[in-house]
A and B are shown apart, each in its own frame.
Chain A
Amino acid sequence: GAVVSQHPSRVICKSGTSVKIECRSLDFQATTMFWYRQFPKQSLMLMATSNEGSKATYEQGVEKDKFLINHASLTLSTLTVTSAHPEDSSFYICSARGFGREDYGYTFGSGTRLTVV
């Protein structure tokens, strides 16, 4: 089946630094990639939707200058958390919908646990 590879799985960074998270679709073309954030004991919250070759669409309340999304190819999307602060510590997950899939089953990456100290 469709696989989305997400790296890194865990990262600890100092406050003020930037962190890049990568998601790759391994056996399908991901024309659309979704980025979610999940705080402990809370639901997944959609941060942004990225389409290959165009600017990402951000959800209300998500700062586009802080969470930079690049979807330069059909198999790779990246999320960069710039100038990270402790309140950005969270579980970040990407999800992809492959081109031509009709059942709308979204495949998720394994997630990145970000801790900002």
Chain B
Amino acid sequence: RKEVEQDPGPFNVPEGATVAFNCTYSNSASQSFFWYRQDCRKEPKLLMSVYSSGNEDGRFTAQLNRASQYISLLIRDSKLSDSATYLCVGVKTSYDKVIFGPGTSLSVIP
């Protein structure tokens, strides 16, 4: 089993829709988690950190459920500019190893 897994999609949603991504991790994987966004042929950029208490930034909400070993990202009121690949990332802080999920592709349609 891969250490960090995601549904690759693609998710095709209309503008204004709410979309949710999930990411699961293995027990031995990571201690800190993040969501990154990667546009086509560009480098990944940090979207937000993920905490057990939840983290909200505008239209984006991230949540970590350690008991069930999954991370979620909720995007409300989708914009065309939200179209990208969203990467779930875990960090093994004990020895600073960063593990990327395969990414989930989102296309927001007019």
Interface size class of A (residues with CB under 8 A): 20 to 34
**Does B32 have its Cβ within 8 Å of any Cβ on chain A?**
yes
* 5 CB-based A-B contacts, threshold 8 Å: A34-B98, A93-B44, A104-B32, A110-B43, A111-B42
Is B96's beta carbon under 8 Å from chain A?
A: yes
Contact with A along B79-110 (1 / 0, CB 8 A): 00000000100010100111111110000000
* A46-B98 contact, Cβ under 8 Å, with A93-B43, A104-B32, A110-B43: yes
B44 contact set on A, CB distance < 8 A: 44, 93, 108
Q: Using a Cβ cutoff of 8 Å, how many contacts connect chains A and B?
A: 47
User: A42 contacts the other chain (Cβ, under 8 Å)?
Assistant: yes
Smallest CB gap from B6: residue in A: A43
Q: Report A's interface with B, CB cutoff 8 A.
A: 32, 34, 36, 42-46, 49, 91, 93, 95, 97, 103-111, 113
Chain B residues near A44 (CB-CB < 8 A): 44, 87, 100
